[in-house]
Structure 1
Amino acid sequence: MSEPGIQYPETDDEVARIVSEACANRRPIEIRGGGTKRGYGRPLQVASALSVEKLSGITNYDPSELVMAARAGTPLEEIEAALALNKQMLTFEPMDHRPLLGASGVPTIGGVFAGNISGPRRISAGAARDSLLGVRFVNGSGEIIKSGGRVMKNVTGLDLVKLMAGSWGTLGVLCEVIFKVLPRPETMATIVVKGLNDAQAAEAMAAAMGMSVEVSGAAHLPESVVHKIADGALKGGPATVLRLEGLEPSVAVRRERLVEEMHRRGEVSVLDADATTSVWRDIRDVKPFAGASAGVSVKPVWRVSVAPSAGHQLVAALRLKTGVDAFFDWQGGLVWLQMEADPEADLVRKYIKALGGGHATLVRADAATRAAVPVFEPQPAALEALTKRIKEQFDPRAILNPGRMSSAV
């Protein structure tokens, strides 16, 4: 249903006209897709909005080429349904933010790439931007720009395709995306190692990733969160979970090798394909910290990326200073932190720096907090200056999602 004050263009030319008029009038506008991630980033101070919701539909898909093109407002579920009919999938496993942010609406393929949304398979298949081959977008001057295509090419200078991924609508309005897909695994299984503490789990995940068994997901769920995964299927103490995917005979052989190795570290069990699907969906969507829509949990949540060996050290250091709950994905390199009340931004980023660096994004907090705290990781001076120059080139009057990522972008 259309909302007052929001424009819903149906063609690229209409998008260009709306943005051109906003540019001429120096009128900032909010760029949105399905609205499921509107609470992500700094609050916007705008009077109007442009939704790509009606720029919808798969425009080209030949399963034999493993490439799909779709308009930016196409619902993600439509994309995934079309791929499922051909036993294919998006390799980067995009998260659904609705449970965590208490949002409604429908996730769109444009929103996935605008946020570079990448899930547990990131450690084996790459990020969303690694699957993106081409884009068509409207810049802040109202110009329609096309970059990339149906094949991967070497580039010199700025790679506009990769630049748009993760720009959160601050550089242009995505109208169409072209991306690669891969065959869906024939089967999958998850090896569960029980009873490990955070440090032991980091060692176990590193060992698993170092084996030639092609682990496609490695996560650790401390006792405080494990019962919230897959309706309690992993209950009974902390669980370290390792996913295998592929052809059934291959998975069977690799599973035996991994089980043998993990038996040296703790009690081991194996989940079948259905249970594996449920467990990794809940990890992907950060189910342990969900519940904002029901008012159950409005505590600040951080998404922290560090070296896999540093994740458990970060959590241990924070627990000495403040109340924090946490679990680990990406072999321990992605840490989801839920704070008790204050986001403790200075403390979190201080410890990250002390542990060798990384970045922290405040994914969930109230609007006042998101306005006061740097939501995205502050950039070094040289990189910030480059970011500003890029913003000025793409959006010279700073009308597209102004200030969403920082005061400068």
Structure 2
Amino acid sequence: MRPADEDELAEVIRVATTHFSVQGGGTRGLEGVAAGAVLETGGIAGITLYEPGALTLVARAGTPLAEIETALAAEGQRLPFEVPDFRAMLGRQGESTIGGVMAANASGPRRVQAGAARDSLIGVRFVDGRGDVIRNGGRVMKNVTGYDLVKLMAGSRGSLGILTEVSMKVLPAPEAQATLSLAGLDDARAVAAMSAALGSPFEVSGAAHWPGRGTFLRIEGFTASVAYRAERLAALLAGFGRAERIEGAGPWPEIRDAAPFAGRAGDVWRLSVKPSDAPGLIARAGAEAHLMDWGGGLVWILTAPGADLRTRLGGFSGHATRVRATDPADGIPALHPEPPAVAALTAGLKNRFDPRGLFNPAHAGAF
């Protein structure tokens, strides 16, 4: 089912008698949690407002991400949060849409500096479970009226309502970027180096550790500033070894897209943890491969098919999501179980926005 506009979508929801599996381009959904008839938003597309001088862009939810990035690049601008592309890692085709990006709160390495996708979202339109069209936020950054449904919808994976339009702030693209690479660090030393870099005044926009490849730290901005900050950061990190400088994009597209796991057999897990806890959790995980991003706050882990990583790790502060499953029907939940108090809040929100339980029912605890 592919509605052509917001009105048609609202009418579909008003008369619905079945569950829906909501998707944009089908490139980000978690494996093993889809339920119901597929409802695509790709027909509700198009950039409706772009004001480069105001750093604001408004687009319908089904607008291809590539179309938005092309429009921004023509004006020397970009989305701040560096959208990841997991199609190769997940073995999917499809075309990513801006609604899917926001519904998944999809955020890449630059999150450590620019924030997540939800931090760039300033307004939304969506259809709730009654078929009502809801608007919240606006087209300017200084909008403080009403409930902050904008942030609530980002990351809810279509379980509360179906996005039809999003308003975002954008930023100028940097004039230059450089990456410092440190070789030979183990996980604990890598976290220490990344923490030192992120705690420095040198505005690091990426901090990742790729075992076997290196520990990488990115600086962006004006050319002269990048050169100065890279030199000073290298001096600050001298205790961790000699930093090699990489010009241009470096390894960041691969890190952003979890590329080390593309084409490799096994299940892929995504852990959100305290950076200081990451090395110990990796050691307990029995990982076949791993990658750390966000200074160690995001850990990607490859395990053997059907291995329940949560059982291996036991209790820990954070959550583990299985984003790729060799056998989605093996009984291992994709989403991390919520604590009872949080689950009660989630259920209350779900009942308020989707009282008939129409949307992505298996994603109810996803946000």
TM value normalised by structure 1: 0.86
Q: For 1:392, give the aligned amino acid.
A: N
Equivalent residues of 2:83, 2:108 under 8 A apart: yes
Equivalent residues of 2:2, 2:43 under 8 A apart: yes
The reply to whether residue 364 of structure 1 matches residue 324 of structure 2 is: yes
Aligned ranges for residues 6-405 of structure 1 at < 5 Å?
A: 7-22=1-16, 25=17, 27-38=18-29, 40-46=30-36, 48-153=37-142, 155=144, 158-223=147-212, 226=213, 239-273=214-248, 277-291=249-263, 297-318=264-285, 322-351=286-315, 353=316, 357-369=317-329, 372-405=331-364
Equivalent residues of 1:301, 1:343 under 8 A apart: no
Q: For 1:36, give the aligned amino acid.
A: T
Q: Deviations over 1:78-120 (max 9, x none)?
A: 1001101111111111111101110111000000000000110
Q: For 1:19, give the aligned amino acid.
A: I
Equivalent residues of 1:41, 1:404 under 8 A apart: no
- Corresponding residue for 1:233? none
Q: Secondary structure at the match of 2:345?
A: helix
Q: Distance in 2 between matches of 1:148 and 1:388?
A: 24
Q: Secondary structure at the match of 1:95?
A: coil
Q: Distance in 1 between matches of 2:63 and 2:144?
A: 28
Equivalent residues of 2:287, 2:301 under 8 A apart: no
Q: Deviations over 1:297-322 (max 9, x none)?
A: 3411111011111111211222xxx3
TM value normalised by structure 2: 0.95
- Post-superposition shift, 1:348? 4.5
Equivalent residues of 1:136, 1:176 under 8 A apart: yes
Equivalent residues of 2:158, 2:360 under 8 A apart: yes
Q: For 2:284, give the aligned amino acid.
A: A
Question: Which is worse superposed, 338-347 or 143-152?
Answer: 338-347
Q: Deviations over 1:144-189 (max 9, x none)?
A: 1111101235658742111110111111111000010011110000
Q: Secondary structure at the match of 1:310?
A: helix
Q: For 1:45, give the aligned amino acid.
A: A
- Post-superposition shift, 1:401? 1.3
Equivalent residues of 2:56, 2:168 under 8 A apart: yes
Q: For 1:313, give the aligned amino acid.
A: G
Q: Distance in 1 between matches of 2:258 and 2:181?
A: 18
Q: Deviations over 1:341-394 (max 9, x none)?
A: 33323335515x1xxx1111111114534x622322211111101111110111
Q: For 1:374, give the aligned amino acid.
A: P
Q: Distance in 1 between matches of 2:343 and 2:361?
A: 15
Q: Distance in 2 between matches of 1:345 and 1:314?
A: 10
Q: Distance in 2 between matches of 1:280 and 1:163?
A: 29
Q: Report % sequence identity.
A: 48
Q: Distance in 1 between matches of 2:32 and 2:142?
A: 34
The number of equivalent residue pairs is 367
- Corresponding residue for 1:231? none
Gaps (5+ residues) in structure 2?
none
Question: Which is worse superposed, 100-109 or 297-306?
Answer: 297-306
Q: For 1:123, give the aligned amino acid.
A: V
- Post-superposition shift, 1:221? 0.9
Q: For 1:34, give the aligned amino acid.
A: G
- Post-superposition shift, 1:337? 0.5
Q: Quick one: structure 1 residues 198 and 323, their matched pair in 2 at CA, closer, same or farther if it must change by over 3 Å? A: closer
Q: Deviations over 1:209-260 (max 9, x none)?
A: 121111100011112xx3xxxxxxxxxxxx1100000000100110111122
Q: For 2:228, give the aligned amino acid.
A: V
Equivalent residues of 1:136, 1:144 under 8 A apart: yes
- Corresponding residue for 1:4? none
Equivalent residues of 2:19, 2:358 under 8 A apart: yes
Q: For 2:321, give the aligned amino acid.
A: T
Gaps (5+ residues) in structure 1?
1-6, 227-238, 292-296
Q: Distance in 2 between matches of 1:59 and 1:303?
A: 34
Q: For 1:16, give the aligned amino acid.
A: A
Q: Distance in 1 between matches of 2:81 and 2:348?
A: 30
Q: Quick one: structure 1 residues 86 and 156, their matched pair in 2 at CA, closer, same or farther if it must change by over 3 Å? A: closer
Q: Quick one: structure 1 residues 260 and 75, their matched pair in 2 at CA, closer, same or farther if it must change by over 3 Å? A: same
Equivalent residues of 1:302, 1:338 under 8 A apart: yes
Equivalent residues of 2:273, 2:297 under 8 A apart: yes
